[in-house]
Amino acid sequence: MTEYVAPAAVEIVADQAKESASPYLRYFFRYGEIVEDFKNQREALELKKERVDTRVDEAKSQNELIHKDVDNWLTSAEKELKETQNLKDEIDRVKCFKWCPKWGWRYSLSKKLAEKIPIISKLLETSNFAQVGYRRPLQGIEFITSTDFMDSKSSKSAFNQIMEAINAKGVNMIGLHGMPGVGKTTLAKEVGKHAREQKLFDKDVMFTMSQNPNIRTIQDKIAEMFGLNFHTNTEEGRAEELFRSMKGMNKILVIVDNLWEEFKMESIGIPFGDEHEGCKILLTTRRQQVCTKMNYEAWVLFRHKAGLEDDCSTLNDVAKEVAAQCKGLPLAIVVVAKALKGESLNGWRDANQRFKDSTHLYDEEVLGGVLEPLNLSYDYLKKGINQMTGNHIQMCFLLCSLFPEDEEILTEILIMKKIVEALKKLQKSGLLLETDGADTIRIHDVIRDFAHWLTSTGENRFMVKDTLKEWPHMDESYTAIALWNCSSIIKIFPDKVEFSKLKTLVLVGERKRNRDDFLVVFGTFFEEMKALQVLLLQRVSFSLKGFPSLPNLKTLWCYNCMLKNFSSSLTNMRSLEILSLPGTEINEIKLTSLEELHVVPKINLNLLELKSLSQDFVLPKLQRYAIVVGENYRFNREAFRTLDIQDFSSSLSAFNNLFCNVEELNLRNVGGQKNIVPSIDEMGVNELTSLQLRSCNDMEFLIDTKNDQGSTVAFSNLVELTIESMVSLKGLCYGVSPTRFLQNLKQVIIKDCEELQVIFQIDKLSEKMKRQTPLLSNLTILSLHSLPKLKRIWEVKPSHRAIASLQSLKVVSIESCDNLKTIFSPCLALSMSSSRNLEYDPEIEKSARARRKETEVLKRVAAIERGKQVEVVEPETEPLPATKEVEDNFGEPERMANRTIRQLAAVPNEQTPLCINYPIGETPFELKSGLIHLLPTFRGLKNENPHTHLREFHMVCSSMKPQGVTEDEIKLRAFPFSLVDTAKEWLFYLPPGSITTWDDLSRVFLDRFFPASRVAELRRDIVGIRQMESESLYDYWERYKKLC
């Protein structure tokens, strides 16, 4: 009776203690409640922390900053979870009997848990954050200090005066004026940087006010800095919204750079003065010519940029005279010093004499004392190189001045003008400026004015106009004209103009939301431009019907235009080399003789309908192109020549002239081709660096050399090879491998190729190949998935050891290649560097074990059928070694030569524990055979849905409710009985003890049998589903529902 009386007595005492005992007794008698409460609270904290971590990761991915209280909460939660992990482990580890507890241990542990519970509860109460992050404030001012800015006494003095004015009460507007090139913009940026670091203002913004300011662009930039979204579209309405937003802030710094004339800030929406005393405006302007000239400081900057040393006193004396001619202007100092850098003493003397002989004919108001230094730098562009190249660089500089003030110029446009080789020299000379973007450059406004001064007279006469509202008077002697932001309201737009010398024309319309409002130009407008070589159009609508012959036109660049009757005109352009049509809507196109083609489609714009090409259509040989045939557009800007063909059943003869120099080739669902070489290209696609083949069901090999005997050079520059879902693919090469075949290959990915048996047939090499660089010596990544007939990766003879090498191999991933007999032959294993850690996929080991087990079972079955008692002797083997052991074994060829992959992957004799670690203290219960029979079955086949299996499994398990046993414990016990065949094998090979909860088990189950690749594939199928021609709407809808 005692064993039944004791628990009852304890229960009575515990009930009384709950009512009247001291807190210390509570730790004894409420132990169970405290433990349960602790577990619940701690588990809730873990879940809450995971949710907050997820929200924080999402916020960071959106470039947001995390609130400080969120960071503090996460730190506290992490700390508590770490501190209480030991307590949780102690609860799970120690068994406490109901009627005879360890009282001292119970008291101590209960007290610790009770102290932690309110702390965890407090964290849970404070975890409901409305937002975890906030938008990162944009840099209102460019804080990258110019490399041409040097800290000097004069600059410090000016800086201190500005900061004193900014901090003074009652001062709302500060003016910084000086001659062009004295460094006003750089100093203004330094002021903004200091103000930001000292937190003098709540917000700051800097923008350039050019001679013809674009109010909307300025408003957009300010709104972006202040996080404001406009609700109105007119300039006045946007100004009012900005005004109200800025008035809501206490302190604001606005820096207006390069102000040309008096301007009302209210028109933009900037409040100041009595409207907002906390708004300070710093203006830079060149109108008042006040400039501090410090000769010593100018010489320090000049010597630094010219790279002069102190040990050459004679040269330095001449250089000081040259520096003095720059009159203390930093811009002049920089460009002259860079132009003369590396010159001999005579070169410096010539430059100095030129300064002295200068007539100084220049516009003092516009260029001041900077003209002669710039003129010298301009002339020195042709120093040391041939006359033709020098003129070419000078023309590149002049053409950059055709762009609007402070415009970031796309180098792609310059490339199309074939002047890209001059950019680096111009940047080194200081005449062009770098920008934050890798593909843009910029020209200083003073240097731009200098270029306009150069082109105002002489043989190369330029005209540049911005915000054009009426047609200007023009001289027919112009060689280059750029008209920017031409209004569509121009009433007298000429039908014809006579520009017999015009070589470059840039015509850009106003920004319009509706294409119907674009600037309209008639084809006859270009009729007399016989010398035209470069035509750049943007936001222009025009018909080219009857377009005249332009015999010298080499480049036609149309961005975001509307073109009609395009085909009929191109036939007249005999010299056309470059055609670029990004974002342009056209109705038809035929190409004749081009070197470059850029057809970059936008959504809902069908620019190049290549699917319906005529049989005799052939694209010309191009030097740069990005052509996509199909809907899924992917463009690699680093590749100069990209060809992407999808869902194409016609002949590829239209692309014959492109295969010889294509760099990136993607073919998906392209039929009718049994190989790449020679069917697609007989020359061997030797400029190809990336090849992707998907679902090309007729293709059997990459190359067929049976009639060539290895004389062809093919795929010699291929770096990346991806092959997926090629049902007929039998190998990479049929016949003798050609010269330099795959010598530069670095990455190989092959998936879902049912017929592939051998990948690299190294034993079939031409004699030339055997004398060249070892094959596969650059291979770093090898990934092979779902190749059911693959027997060997490499087919190599021992005598070929010197002609193949895996010295660079780092990663090998092999999955679902059940017939694979060997991974590395001994001779190839020797070539692998022992200094590298080879990453291998555990699936290799699993597949090998499964094959060995299958073989042994078949032996036993065969013996039983013969009626013999056969004892299967296990060979003396070792399990497949871990990463380090694999690495070490590569140095033991004799040992490896005598061991098969089956022996390497033999299962150890000892029994491996199951992966599931059942909870300690679990209430014993028995799975009834009736429940096991009700369980659904999952085999791990491709057509089985693991989500459906889990739903059916849950329905069966939820019907069982034994007392004291949770549903998760039932699922952990029952789940192995629902798996058979491949799925059960997978479960047995999971690491012992790696599964502790049902969530862990269900997650790894879905990761294995419903991976992310299937999710992406299913998403593509859903997005890309289309109704077939003969399919009814009902059948189409039913097919769609099956996908969903």
Average pLDDT, the chain: 72
Q: For position 1012, what pLDDT does the model report?
A: 54
3-state secondary structure 301-314: HHHHHHCCCCCCHH
Q: What are the tens digits of pLDDT across the range 592-634?
A: 445 555 444 333 233 343 444 455 556 777 777 777 776 555 5
Burial group, residue 54, by CB count within 10 angstroms (0-12, 13-18, 19+): exposed
For residue 686, give the DSSP letter. T
Confidence of residue 724 (pLDDT cuts 50, 70, 90): very high
**Percent composition of the chain: helix, strand, coil (DSSP 3-state, to 5):** 40, 15, 45
Query: Which tokens belong to 25?
Result: 């007794």
Token pair 């100004």 is found at: 239
**Please, what sign has the CA dihedral across residues 488, 490, 495, 499?**
negative
Quick check: 353 pLDDT over 50? Answer: yes
Going by their DSSP bridges, the two strands 440-442 and 433-434 should be labelled as antiparallel
Strands (E), 955-1026: none
Distance of CA 780 to the CA centre of its chain: 22
Length of the chain: 1044
**Please, what sign has the CA dihedral across residues 145, 147, 152, 154?**
negative
Q: For position 959, what pLDDT does the model report?
A: 76
DSSP code string of 517-553: GSEE--GGGGTT-TT--EEEEESEEEE-TTPPP-TT-
Quick check: 1031 pLDDT over 90? Answer: no
Q: What are the tens digits of pLDDT across the range 145-194?
A: 334 444 444 566 667 767 766 776 666 777 776 655 557 787 888 888 88
Question: What is the C-alpha to C-alpha distance for residues 906 and 231, in angstroms, rounded to an integer?
Answer: 71
Q: What are the tens digits of pLDDT across the range 556-583?
A: 888 888 877 665 566 566 677 777 777 7
Question: What is the C-alpha to C-alpha distance for residues 171 and 816, in angstroms, rounded to an integer?
Answer: 76
Q: For position 111, what pLDDT does the model report?
A: 79
723-737, 760-774, 816-830: range with highest mean pLDDT: 723-737
**Among 68-77, 319-328, 912-921, 1009-1018, which stretch is predicted with the lowest mean pLDDT?**
1009-1018
153-285: CATH topology is Rossmann fold (3.40.50)
Query: Cis bond leading into 678, ω under 30°?
Result: yes
Question: What is the C-alpha to C-alpha distance for residues 1024 and 264, in angstroms, rounded to an integer?
Answer: 54
Per the CB < 8 A criterion, the answer to whether 429 and 377 are in contact is yes
Question: What is the C-alpha to C-alpha distance for residues 216 and 795, in angstroms, rounded to an integer?
Answer: 67
Best CA proximity match to 585, nearest among 542, 617, 628, 549: 542
Query: Which tokens belong to 314?
Result: 């004679």
CA-based Rg of the chain, rounded to a whole angstrom?
Answer: 39
Mean pLDDT to the nearest integer, 781-786: 90
Mean pLDDT to the nearest integer, 970-983: 86
HSE-CB of 251 using CA atoms within 13 angstroms: 11
Q: Residue ranges of the domains in the chain?
A: 2-135, 153-285, 295-443, 929-1010
Per the CB < 8 A criterion, the answer to whether 492 and 521 are in contact is no
Q: For position 811, what pLDDT does the model report?
A: 83
**Among 521-535, 540-554, 574-588, 856-870, which stretch is predicted with the lowest mean pLDDT?**
856-870
- What are residue 625's phi and psi, to 5 degrees? -165, 155
Q: What are the tens digits of pLDDT across the range 426-458?
A: 766 666 777 766 677 777 766 777 777 777 777
The Cα-based distances of 18 to 97, 109, 178 in angstroms read 21, 18, 86
Mean pLDDT to the nearest integer, 525-534: 83
- If one counts every other C-beta atom within 10 angstroms of the C-beta of residue 925, the result is 14
Q: What are the tens digits of pLDDT across the range 193-226?
A: 888 888 888 888 888 877 777 888 888 888 887 7
Q: For position 847, what pLDDT does the model report?
A: 60
**Please, what sign has the CA dihedral across residues 890, 891, 893, 899?**
negative
Quick check: 287 pLDDT over 60? Answer: no
The Cα-based distances of 725 to 374, 519, 591, 703, 755 in angstroms read 62, 49, 34, 18, 11
Query: Which tokens belong to 298?
Result: 């100018």
Query: Which tokens belong to 379?
Result: 């002339």
Burial group, residue 412, by CB count within 10 angstroms (0-12, 13-18, 19+): middle
| More confident site: 970 or 653 | 970
Q: For position 753, what pLDDT does the model report?
A: 93
- What are residue 472's phi and psi, to 5 degrees? -80, 165
Q: What are the tens digits of pLDDT across the range 951-969?
A: 888 888 887 777 778 888 8
Q: What are the tens digits of pLDDT across the range 379-430?
A: 766 664 555 466 777 777 788 888 887 777 776 666 544 455 667 667 666 6
Confidence of residue 694 (pLDDT cuts 50, 70, 90): very high
Query: Which tokens belong to 417?
Result: 């003008």
Query: Which CB contacts under 8 angstroms, 24+ apart, belong to 487-493?
Result: 487/519, 488/512, 488/517, 488/518, 488/519, 488/520, 490/519, 493/519, 493/520, 493/521, 493/525
Q: For position 920, what pLDDT does the model report?
A: 63
Task: Look at residue 47 and give its three-state secondary structure.
Answer: helix
Per the CB < 8 A criterion, the answer to whether 381 and 397 are in contact is yes
Per the CB < 8 A criterion, the answer to whether 691 and 717 are in contact is no
**Among 27-36, 269-278, 602-611, which stretch is predicted with the lowest mean pLDDT?**
602-611
Question: What is the C-alpha to C-alpha distance for residues 779 and 804, in angstroms, rounded to an integer?
Answer: 11
Question: What is the C-alpha to C-alpha distance for residues 558 and 627, in angstroms, rounded to an integer?
Answer: 16
Mean pLDDT to the nearest integer, 897-922: 55
Residues contacting 831, CB < 8 A, separation 6+: 774, 801, 804, 805, 806, 807
Q: Which residues of 857-867 are buried (b: 16+ CB within 10 A; e: fewer)?
A: eeeeeeeeeee
Phi-psi region of 653 (alpha: psi -120 to 50; beta: other; left: phi over 0): alpha
Helix or strand run (H / E) with residue 481: strand 480-486
Query: Which tokens belong to 1043?
Result: 């996908």
The Cα-based distances of 622 to 640, 715, 948, 997 in angstroms read 10, 20, 53, 61
Quick check: 885 pLDDT over 50? Answer: no
- If one counts every other C-beta atom within 10 angstroms of the C-beta of residue 785, the result is 18
Best CA proximity match to 852, nearest among 796, 915, 899: 899
- If one counts every other C-beta atom within 10 angstroms of the C-beta of residue 795, the result is 17
